[in-house]
């Protein structure tokens, strides 16, 4: 969007297409394209057009189902939820579950360990090693 806006601003200053392309380090067809789109559609013309592709299989409703499930206790015999258990319960792929969890910043099995020594001489002893 920034490059497109710079192209339009330079064109509005009255600069020639070739000059704008050279100053911004882009091609003449690119400048012409965005200039034409702006003249036909205004600021909306500077947005990307929809592209073909496979529609998203999992939407906001799936995200909500994953998050709601994590609020419930895990299945019997499990101390916490893991990706495969969530996927099985929701009848989806593990990858889809992990995508949602990553996007939400949720880490199901992040292990954190630490060790605290009660030995008052620990630091000097550790320094010798």
Task: Label each residue of 35-48 as H, E or C.
Answer: HHHHHHHHHHHHCC
Top-confidence residue, 75 or 1: 75
Domain that holds residue 73: 60-104
Question: How many CA atoms are closer than 13 Å to the CA of 127, on its beta-carbon side?
Answer: 4
Asked if residue 113 belongs to a domain, the reply is no
DSSP 12: H
For 26-53, the pLDDT digits (tens) are 999 999 998 999 889 888 888 888 888 8
Would 24 be classed as within a structural domain?
Answer: yes
Please give the pLDDT value at position 116: 67
The answer as to whether 6 is a domain residue is yes
CA 122 to mean position of chain CA atoms: 44
How close are the terminal C-alpha atoms of the chain, in Å? 57
Mean pLDDT in residue range 59-75: 92
Residues 38, 64, single domain; the answer is no
Domain total in the chain: 2
pLDDT tens digits for range 92-126: 999 999 999 998 888 887 655 566 677 788 778 87
């Amino acid at each position: 969007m920034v490059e497109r806006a710079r192209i339009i601003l330079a064109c509005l200053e009255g600069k020639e297409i070739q000059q704008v392309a050279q100053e911004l380090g882009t091609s003449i067809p690119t400048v012409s394209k965005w200039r034409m789109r702006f003249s036909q559609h205004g600021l909306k013309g500077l947005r990307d057009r929809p592209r073909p592709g496979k529609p998203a299989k999992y939407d906001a409703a799936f995200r909500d189902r994953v998050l709601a499930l994590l609020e419930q206790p895990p299945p019997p015999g499990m101390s916490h939820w893991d990706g495969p258990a969530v996927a099985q319960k929701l009848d989806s792929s593990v990858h889809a579950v992990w995508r949602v969890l990553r996007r939400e910043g949720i880490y199901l099995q992040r292990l954190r360990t630490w060790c605290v020594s009660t030995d008052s001489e620990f630091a000097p002893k550790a320094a010798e090693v």
